[in-house]
Amino acid sequence: MNTVRTLLAPRFWPISREGILKSRTGSRFKRLFLGLIGLVFWLGVFGISWRVLVYFKGIEEIGDILGFKLLSMLLIVSFALLLFSGILASLSKLYLSRDLPLVHAMPVPAYKIFFSRWIDSTIDSSWMVSLFTVPVFLAYGIVYQAGPFYYVTFLQCLFALIVIASAISTMGVVIGVMLIPASRMKSVFVLLGVMSFVGIYLAIRLLRPEQLVDPEIFDTVMVYVASLESPSSPILPSTWAYDAIRAALTGAALESCFHSAIAWSFAATCLFAALILADRVYFKGYSKAQTAPQRLLRKAAVNESLFAFLPGRLKAYTIKEIKTFLRDQTQWSQLFLLAALVIIYIYNFSVLPLDKSPIRTIYLQNLFAFLNMGLALFVLTAVSARFAYPAVSQEKNAFWVVKVSPIGLTTFLWIKFWVYYPPLLILTEILIVATNLLLQVTPFMMGLSTLTVFLLVPGIVSMGIGLGAAFPDFKAENPAQTVTSFGGLIFMILCTALIALVVVVEAGPVYRLFLASLHDRPLSAGEWAWIVVSFAAVFVISLAAIFLPMRYGVRQLEQLTS
């Protein structure tokens, strides 16, 4: 264990040396700010969870059943997320980290290197899921007035789930690396992306959330209640955790201990199996992974003549960006995940039983359309965070080429903007049109939402490029690392604020228009003025969102690199 501790030291020594707050003023402020934002989100999750559970508790007969169904859903989704992030983290830590040649040159057994990396990747892959599920569990404890035993139970069950997910995903990676030919090693990412897509899709569909809002699927209330009570698969670790936590909530301590023991014995077995496997094959797999990567697509995936109409510099960067993106198979797993999220997003709209809603009106449909606009733009924000925000940082050590070339930083950033803007615009417009069609919105709402999206997409992309330039990380090993930073958080917050602002500004006039249409009355002059001013404000906000971040990004990048 001393060796494992030493191998982990480079991760923890800088933290213990600097301390959380003891550092330069600028980074201290950033950490405080990040901590504050995290706390706000944490409290928000707790508040919403508590509110929902209190509401469920107030429903007679089936309130507790609904509460436990929600708990089950939470655990299944958390486990799926842990598995997915465990796959990506372990692949990176075990086979792609830049310090691996240094560590493998040391007189340390391979399984100890594996174990230290496994601990590292487990922490990386699970901290966010853990942090933001804890307030939900706390809310359960408070609403159900659980004793101390419950709090110990949920913590250790969560920990067991983390260990199981990480061990299983790591074993999958180790086996995958051995099975796939060395020259196709990075095809592992493609495989993992597809597996993640399938896994997340199955997790979401297993929940069948549409049943919660469509009681008429069931013949009787009792059948409906029974379906809510029906357990998840008994071989899933999330089921054992659910059984243990539920028993602890209801005071059945012995039963809870039994299910916890099952979970922990499986966790120990998985970890043991992973260590044995690692001792046998980890170093062989690592050696295999060191071959020069072969291209997955040997034929040219980009027909350069398609871009002949572009000006020279834009054409050069466009072709470069597309080629490097297509050849960077580490990006593909993100692409698969995003495709999964987009498809699930649209699919969930298709199964919503809107026609069975007791208060179905045009008003309700179009309210959903309005909210959907915000959601679609939030999906765009998440996509931009993965692709547009890291765009400048992905130049990495090759940024010197930009500095010595005869293009200014302003042109460089605008070129980046024009590379990412068209595909993201197409994606978001498809999303909004498809979901609006499923929601059966009025032509006015269709027009409004597509136009609003058209105005905001360039702003969000511009904020991604601009803020990514203001907070670059040329040493990041992959794009995901870039966005999980102070700058990435600022980007997400500002985009959310922009979307919320536009939705709020448009909400009033749109509501007035609906009421006027509903009551078949003309709008007053004052109302017209309000509508015009509001939409003009949206236009001005959109323009500001396009130009201000780019100017800021150029200024910051110039200061940083001069």
Partner 1 sequence: MIEIKALTKIYGNFTAVDRINLSIRPGEIFGFIGPNGAGKTTTIKMIGGILAPTSGSVVIAGIDMAAKPEAAKSKIGFIPDRPYLYEKLTGMEFLRFTADLYDVRTPEFNSRAVQNLELFSLRDWADDLIESYSHGMKQRLIMAAALLHEPEVIIVDEPMVGLDPRAIRLVKDLFRQLAAEGTTIFMSTHTLKVAEETCDRIGIISRGQMIASGTTDDLRREANVSDADLETVFLNLTGAEEN
Q: How far apart are CA 463 and CA 116, in angstroms?
A: 38
How far apart are CB 333 and partner 1 at their closest, in Å? 24
How far apart are CB 24 and partner 1 at their closest, in Å? 12
Of 288 and 320, the one with the shorter C-beta distance to partner 1 is 288
Are the C-beta atoms of residues 263 and 244 closer than 8 Å to each other?
yes
Are the C-beta atoms of residues 67 and 53 closer than 8 Å to each other?
yes
Other Cβ atoms within 10 Å of 113 Cβ, number:
22
Q: How far apart are CA 557 and CA 65, in angstroms?
A: 55
Of 13 and 347, the one with the shorter C-beta distance to partner 1 is 13
How far apart are CB 11 and partner 1 at their closest, in Å? 9
Maximal CA-CA distance, the chain: 84
* CA neighbor of 163 nearest in space, from 260, 281, 42, 280: 260
Element (H or E) spanning 135, and its range? helix 110-143
How far apart are CB 110 and partner 1 at their closest, in Å? 8
Are the C-beta atoms of residues 413 and 555 closer than 8 Å to each other?
no
Cα 174 to the center of its chain, rounded Å: 24
How far apart are CB 10 and partner 1 at their closest, in Å? 4
How far apart are CB 283 and partner 1 at their closest, in Å? 6
Of 208 and 475, the one with the shorter C-beta distance to partner 1 is 475
Q: Which two tokens stand for residue 189?
A: 């990412």
Q: Which two tokens stand for residue 59?
A: 């429903």
Q: How far apart are CA 386 and CA 84, in angstroms?
A: 16
Residues that bind partner 1 in the complex, under the rule CB under 8 A: 2-3, 6-7, 9-10, 13-14, 17, 98-99, 101-102, 104-110, 181-183, 283-284, 287, 290-292, 294, 475
Of 105 and 254, the one with the shorter C-beta distance to partner 1 is 105
How far apart are CB 181 and partner 1 at their closest, in Å? 7
Q: Which two tokens stand for residue 504?
A: 């709020």
* Sequence-ordered list of residues with C-beta below 8 angstroms from that of 99, at least 6 positions apart, any chain: 10
Of 4 and 391, the one with the shorter C-beta distance to partner 1 is 4
Of 16 and 305, the one with the shorter C-beta distance to partner 1 is 16
How far apart are CB 465 and partner 1 at their closest, in Å? 26
Of 23 and 442, the one with the shorter C-beta distance to partner 1 is 23
Question: Torsion-angle region of residue 396: left (phi > 0), alpha (psi -120 to 50) or beta?
Answer: left
Of 3 and 227, the one with the shorter C-beta distance to partner 1 is 3
* Sequence-ordered list of residues with C-beta below 8 angstroms from that of 536, at least 6 positions apart, any chain: none
